Chain A
Amino acid sequence: MNPTGFLSPSFAWLFLLVVPLVIVYFLKLKRPRLEIPSLVLWHSVINDQRVNSPFQRFKKHLLLWLQLVILLSLIFAAMQPFLRGGPGSAENLPILIDCSASMAATDTEGGPTRLERAKQRVEELIDGTLPDRVCLIAISDSARQLTEFTNNKRVLRKALGALTVRDVSGNLADGLRMAQALARRETITSVTLVSDGNFGSLETSANGQVIAPVDIELPFELKYERLQTSARNMGITAFNARRQAAVGSDESLTPWNVFVRVDGSPAEETSGEVVLEQDGQEIGRQPIALEPGQSKRLVYSLESSGVSNLVARILADGFDGLETDNTAYLTLPVSRSLFVWCDSELESYRHALGVFPGVVVYPGPSAAGQPDLFDLAITETTEKANPNLEASVRLVVGQIPEDLSELVTSRTGNSPVVDWNRSSLLLQHVNLDNIEITDLPVRGDDVLDQQFREAGYDILATGRTGPLVLARHAPGRETYYLLFHTDRSTLPYRVGFPVLVKNVIDISQHAAGLAEVQGQPTRVLDARTLEPNQAYTVTGPGASDQEFRTGPDGVLSGIPAPRVGIYRIRGSSGTVATVGASVLDAGESSLASADEIVPRDEELRVGASTTTIDTNRPLWPTLAWIAFVVLLVEWWYFQRMTARVAS
């Protein structure tokens, strides 16, 4: 490979200027006149010189040579030569730039953020890598290709300048996967990653090193350029509230327990105060001091009858590296009972529901008025069969979903439970051993679990001939299917049945935000149910308004929330919801840094390099300086020569 190259070889035509320079030099040379007694000797000297050396006049013209050096230096500078940076240069170079939340941190007080330093470094890479084609990829919660492969500096600089931090955790695997996809259509031998090393999932290896495992094989060489980091930080990594246990059915005045978890950076001790505000009023302030790597959970108790907005703030003592994780938001919902629809025929369920406080069962004597949307519906009909019954959580008993009719059928027979997902929310702590079921869901021939997943269903319990319990998760809607009827089984007579009902109540309360609310993390706002087929405008921090539209089911989902702050959802009638998004990521707040990136093939571990990668080095500034210095020398020499002749 040629060690040098030119960015603008077309400027080579300027070499033609050498010819007029030489001609003009000899034609227009301003020679000092000197009268001498006789030219006899000089004539013979000149004749002798010309005879002996025809090119003699070119030989010792220092001024001409200096002018040629200046001209050639400027021409070469215009051609923008560069020294190749060895194997570091490639024809196509994807540059992955980490712009996750930790990149907003400053490592010195008042200093540049990590992203600013990364952008500066990438700009050097762009300057040093051209004319190779560069593709910029930003990594945050997902990977975004900022530019195509190009050597257009203006385009690259513009894309780089527009890059901002997203207050989300970094997803390195996504970035590498995008580079892998690019490698399929372009020749890519190496990929450069510029990051602080704080990725979503960091682990500590046996030798004490922090590693970032990525489940991907790298078909290229990954150069991991890690920024120097030394920040100390304290951040809120969890912010949630749980309603205290109620006694009766009306629990509107039940107080909330609010939990704030604060994590410190692993390298240094941190201290400060945590302030809790409710609807703009400070209601609590607690000092906090953390050992390196320690985290603490602070508990506040407060009364709230209606919607209440909570803000937790950290007031750090001294320097705090990351500002965005010092604030967290939480919205407490209106306290009310859980509205449950339970078919009248399902006596066992109605009986079990009556045990739990804070639950209003429809239809029933104590249930006045029927809500448009139930929090929980326990029914023998599917959503398609009974579309008028709307609920956030639906437990369908003894029915097979219509869209699975080709995969599974129900027969009569004995179907013991073979296995079930004990960690699922619905079946946790539910023992399904030795339950007799007379319905027999039968899986079709050659039907695999994969086909259920592709249809959007998770299998929670499996019988001998087919699935028994299915779950389907959709934004704002959760549906659980018991493919057997509990009344035709021994389940209602087992301890697991009330546990199952309690689990579905908990799921419903969580979905409705009645028993426990968690702080909204950045990335994507949780789906919420609003008016169907309506347009809504979402205004977030530092971003222009975005239009979203609900579907026939009224679910508004997929609202990006890349920044920490308040997001207002406005409809035609005004603001319908206000949501505060927070970082709430222990990994980002720790500002930890991976020493190595470990891909699937562990032999190809990629160590962090804090030294700058050897890139192509532009030579035009050096040539410009040479031209300037030679110009000075020429001026000095000309002045000296003129002075000597004059004297």
Chain B
Amino acid sequence: MNVAASDKQLTSLLGNETLARLERLRLQPNRRKTNRTQGEHAAGKGGSSTEFADYRNYVPGDDVRFVDWNIFARLNRPFMKLYQFEEVMHVAILVDGSNSMKFEGKFERACQLAAALGLTALMGVERISAYVVGAAGEPPSVMPPCSGRVSMRRLFNFFERAECGGDATIDSAVESMLRRHKGKGLAIILSDFLTPASLARPFNLLYSAGLEIFALQVLGPTEIDPELTGDLRLVDSEHGRTVDVSSIGELHGIYREHRERLEEHVRRQCRMRNGRFLSISSDAPLDWVLFDLLQRQGWLK
């Protein structure tokens, strides 16, 4: 990590002011996928929270403590008052640590965003776990599930120490994460999604595991708009494979089309599973991303 940290700052990833503003934000999943354990998410009727949900007829055997006696007095029939469940949501954060994330501060920006989103989850009393997947076939760096404000330090330390390097693909990274993850909730994936394989399989696995997909694509500025000219031999950072490109300056238009097509592919895969997708540049201001873009897109509230 090369983010300079002041002694007074809580973490080198995010500024104190940013942290203060993040404490007031919460993740906004499209669907409430919660666990039965007690939590702070109202997860449906029949819970024991103070939030009223509905009425139903009394049936023998019901707990008479939940009979609405005022209605019984007016209607002379017993009705049961139903309250919402307050259940915990499990937030799994997956950061792509492959070689392709080394360029143009993509990995650093991904860690900052992961820490910020994790912080909002902790502030929402959710259980979070984090994974950084580098090399395929090797165990990922894992932050075990934790919750509460007390875990904030642990979250920051994990992403501050995260290392980047390897040839893992999104497919293998998701598989690796799901082998260790338990519980429904939300899966936040931060990657460049530059993979030749289809994303359908890993996203199906996440969906089957009860995880709503928040896919955040982090690209470098030259990946978004490559200013290259002439005849070049391009080398893949992950596999070392090469491709010769002539008059590369004339291919910018085609490249842009293919990049947008890739974004659309990822977005469609997310939407098909009721998830969300967003693509940002690694040089985009962090505060703008957190407090403007993500809020406007409904990721945070």
Cβ A44 vs Cβ B258 within 8 A: yes
Alpha-carbon separation in the docked complex, A33 to B230 (Å): 11
B232–A43 contact, CB under 8 A?
Answer: no
Residues 195-236 of B at the A interface (beta carbon under 8 Å) = 195-196, 220, 222-223, 228-236
- In the assembly, what is the distance between CA of A267 and CA of B126, in Å? 118
CB proximity to A under 8 Å, residues B161-189: none
Q: Tell me whether A42 and B233 are in contact (CB under 8 A).
A: no
Chain B, residues 253-265, CB within 8 Å of chain A (1/0): the string is 0110011001000
Across the interface, do B254 and A40 meet the contact criterion of CB distance under 8 Å? Answer: no
Known contacts A34-B228, A49-B254: does B233 contact A43 (CB below 8 Å)?
no
Knowing A34-B228, A60-B246, say if A45 contacts B258 (CB, 8 Å).
yes
A38 B235 Cβ-Cβ under 8 A: no
Assembly CA distance A642 to B247 (angstroms): 13
Stretch at the interface among B69-77, B99-107, B288-296: B99-107
What sequence of 0s and 1s flags, for each residue 230-244 of chain B, a beta carbon within 8 Å of any chain A beta carbon?
111111111001111
- Give A33 to B233 CA distance when docked, in angstroms: 5
A41 touching B194, Cβ below 8 Å: yes
Q: In the assembly, what is the distance between CA of A49 and CA of B100, in Å?
A: 24
The 0/1 profile, CB within 8 Å of B marked 1, for residues 45-64 of chain A is 11011000000010111110
Q: With a CB–CB cut-off of 8 A, which chain A residues contact B235? A: 33-36
C-alpha gap A61/B251 in the complex (Å): 13
| Nearest CB of A to B248, in Å | 9
**Whole-angstrom CA separation of A29 from B232 in the bound complex:** 10
Decide if A37 touches B258 in the complex (CB within 8 Å): no
CB within 8 Å for A31 and B254 given contacts A37-B103, A40-B194:
no
Indicate the member of B100, B236, B244 with the most A CB atoms within 10 Å. Answer: B236
Asked if A40 and B196 make an inter-chain contact with CB atoms under 8 angstroms apart, the answer reads yes
Residues of B within 8 A of A34 (CB): 228, 232-235
A18-37 Cβ-contact flags toward B at 8 Å (1 or 0): 00000000000101111111
| B86, CB-defined interface residue at 8 Å | no
Does any Cβ of B come within 8 Å of A641's Cβ?
yes
Please name all residues of chain B whose beta carbon is closer than 8 Å to the beta carbon of A44 when the two chains form the complex. 258
From known contacts A37-B192, A38-B194, infer whether A32 and B262 are also in contact, taking CB-CB under 8 Å. Answer: no
Q: Of the candidates A35, A38, A48, which one forms a contact with B254 in the assembled complex, judged by CB atoms under 8 Å apart?
A: A48
Does A384 reach chain B (CB closer than 8 Å)? Answer: no
Is A39 located at the chain interface by the 8 A CB criterion? Answer: yes
Instruction: Given A32-B230, A61-B246, verify A38-B251 contact (CB < 8 Å).
Output: no
- Residues of chain B within 8 A (CB-CB) of A61 are 231, 246-247
A29: chain B residues at CB < 8 Å are: 231, 244, 246
Write out the residue numbers on chain A whose beta carbons fall within 8 Å of the beta carbon of B262: 40-41
Q: Is there an interface contact between B230 and A42, defined as CB atoms closer than 8 Å? A: no
Give the Cβ gap from B163 to chain A, nearest Cβ, in Å. Answer: 17
Which of A33, A48, A645 is B258 in contact with, Cβ under 8 Å? A48
- Say whether B250 faces chain A, with CB atoms less than 8 Å apart: yes
Q: Does A644 contact B (CB under 8 A)?
A: yes
**B245 contacts chain A at the CB level, 8 A cutoff:** yes
Say yes or no: A36-B237 contact (C-beta < 8 A), given A43-B243, A44-B258, A45-B258.
yes
B232 in complex: contacting residue of A57, A60, A62, A645, CB < 8 Å: A645
Known: A31-B232, A32-B230. A38 touches B238 (CB 8 A): yes
Decide if B194 touches A37 in the complex (CB within 8 Å). yes
Per the bound structure, the CA–CA distance linking A62 and B229 in Å amounts to 12
- Inter-chain contacts of B251 with A (CB < 8 A): 45, 49
Interface centre among A35, A36, A42, A49, by most chain B C-beta atoms within 10 angstroms, is: A36
- Which residue of B is nearest A645, CB measured? B230
Collect the chain B residues with CB atoms within 8 Å of residue A31's CB.
Answer: 231-233, 244
Chain B residue at minimal CB-CB distance from A37: B100
A645 to B231, CA, bound (A): 9
A278 vs B241: C-alpha distance in the bound complex, in angstroms? Answer: 105
Closest to B195 in A: A40
Main secondary structure of the interface of A (DSSP, over half): helix
Closest B residue by C-beta to A64: B246
Contacts of B230 in A (CB 8 A): 32, 641-642, 644-645
Q: Which of A38, A59, A63 has the most CB of B within 10 A?
A: A38
- In the assembled complex, the Cα of A404 lies from the Cα of B274 at a distance in Å of 139
Q: Return the contact of B234 from the options A36, A62, A641 (Cβ within 8 A).
A: A36
Q: Is the CB of B237 within 8 A of A42?
A: no
The complex places the Cα of A43 from the Cα of B241 at a distance, in Å, of 11
Report A-chain residues with C-beta under 8 Å of the C-beta of B101.
Answer: 37
Task: Tell me the complex Cα distance, A62–B249, Å.
Answer: 12
Give the complex CA separation of A513 and B246 in angstroms.
Answer: 97
Task: Check A644 against B229 for contact (C-beta < 8 Å).
Answer: yes
The answer for the CA separation of A42 and B223 in the assembled complex, in Å, is 10
B220, closest chain A residue (CB): A37
Within 8 A of B (CB), among A60-92: 60-63
Residue numbers in A under 8 Å from B238 (CB-CB): 37-38
Q: Is the CB of B234 within 8 A of A60?
A: no
Q: Which of B106, B196, B237 contacts A43 (CB 8 A)?
A: B196
Which of A31, A32, A60, A645 is the most central at the interface, judged by chain B CB atoms within 10 Å of its CB? A31
A46–B241 Cα distance when bound, in Å, is 14
Contact A38 B192 (CB under 8 A): yes
| Least distance between B97 CB and chain A CB atoms (Å) | 13
B241→A39 contact, CB < 8 A? yes
- B236/A39 in contact, CB under 8 A: yes
**Cα A49 to Cα B253 with chains together (Å):** 11
Looking at the complex, which one of A36, A46, A62 makes contact with B236 (CB distance below 8 Å)? Answer: A36
Chain B residues, CB < 8 A from A645: 228-230, 232
Assess whether B237 is in contact with A41, with CB atoms less than 8 Å apart: no
Which of these, A37, A60, A63, A641, contacts B237 with CB under 8 Å?
A37
Residues on the A chain within 8 Å of B255, using CB: 41-42, 45
A45, B259: Cα distance in complex, Å:
9
- State A37–B96 Cα separation when bound (angstroms): 13
Give residues of chain A (122-160) contacting chain B, Cβ–Cβ below 8 Å.
none
Q: Is the CB of A39 within 8 A of B246?
A: no
**Nearest CB on A from B235, distance (A):** 5
Nearest CB of A to B197, in Å: 10
Q: How far is the CA of A31 from the CA of B250 in the complex (A)?
A: 16
Residue of A45, A46, A57 with most chain B CB atoms under a 10 A cut-off:
A45
Within the assembled complex, what's the spacing in Å between the Cα atoms of A39 and B245? 11
Per-residue CB contact flags for chain A residues 307-333 toward chain B (1 = under 8 Å, else 0) read 000000000000000000000000000
Would you call B250 and A36 a contact (CB within 8 A)?
Answer: no
The 4 closest A-B pairs by CB, nearest first: A37-B100, A60-B247, A38-B194, A641-B230
22 example contacts (A-B, Cβ-Cβ < 8 A) are as follows A29-B231, A29-B246, A33-B232, A34-B234, A34-B235, A35-B235, A36-B234, A37-B101, A37-B106, A37-B223, A38-B192, A38-B194, A40-B262, A41-B259, A42-B234, A45-B258, A46-B245, A49-B251, A59-B247, A61-B246, A642-B230, A645-B229
User: Measuring CB to CB, which residues of chain A are less than 8 angstroms from any residue of chain B?
Assistant: 29, 31-46, 48-49, 57, 59-63, 641-642, 644-645
Given A31-B231, A40-B262, A42-B245: 20 more A-B contacts, CB < 8 Å? A31-B233, A32-B232, A33-B232, A33-B235, A35-B234, A36-B234, A36-B236, A37-B99, A37-B192, A38-B100, A38-B192, A38-B238, A40-B194, A41-B258, A45-B251, A49-B254, A57-B247, A60-B247, A641-B230, A645-B229
Using a CB–CB cutoff of 8 Å, the interface residues on chain B facing chain A are 99-103, 106, 192, 194-196, 220, 222-223, 228-238, 241-247, 250-251, 254-255, 258-259, 262
